[in-house]
Amino acid sequence: MTTLTRTRAVAAPPATVWAVLADFDALVLWADDIDHSSLTTERRDGVGTARRVQTGQITLIERVTTWEPDHCLAYDIEGLIPVVQHASNTWMLTPTADGTRVSLTTRVDAGRRPDKALIGAAVARKMAEASDMMLDGLVARLEDLS
């Protein structure tokens, strides 16, 4: 498994950051590389909530596995290349004196065979690039809201 983490300092309290992340189907409003996002479940929040995310020709389903308001949001990601056995993102919000430290950790498991592990690592690096874009978009969205 490959695990990569990206972090940003945000001049907003965790509750304000959480409000943006918890609006789970509104990802398209602040993540520049997302063309469309919408809920695929009746629920709008909590574990089990799922959204469909369209980015270019790629369609993903993201299903919430952890929902801890003002602290942690995690979701599994389905729809990546077939060699990926499991992928997930975890957003962690840590209060600081100036606002919030936001961390986004991506985990990709493509198996233990060396060839598949290399592919998994490459997928994780690509997803970490997307994480950087999402974090930048989150910061910009929070600035727009303030």
CATH architecture of 2-145: 2-Layer Sandwich (3.30)
For the CA atoms of the chain, what is the radius of gyration? 15
* Average pLDDT across the chain, whole number: 92
pLDDT at 146 over 80: no
Sequence ranges of the domains in the chain: 2-145
**Average pLDDT of the segment spanning 105-119:** 86
pLDDT for 100: 97
Q: What is the pLDDT of residues 9-30, one digit of tens each?
A: 999 999 999 999 999 999 999 9
DSSP label at residue 97: T
pTM of the model: 0.92
| Alpha-carbon span 59 to 100, nearest angstrom | 31
How far, in Å, are 12, 13, 14, 20 from residue 97 at the CA level? 10, 9, 11, 20
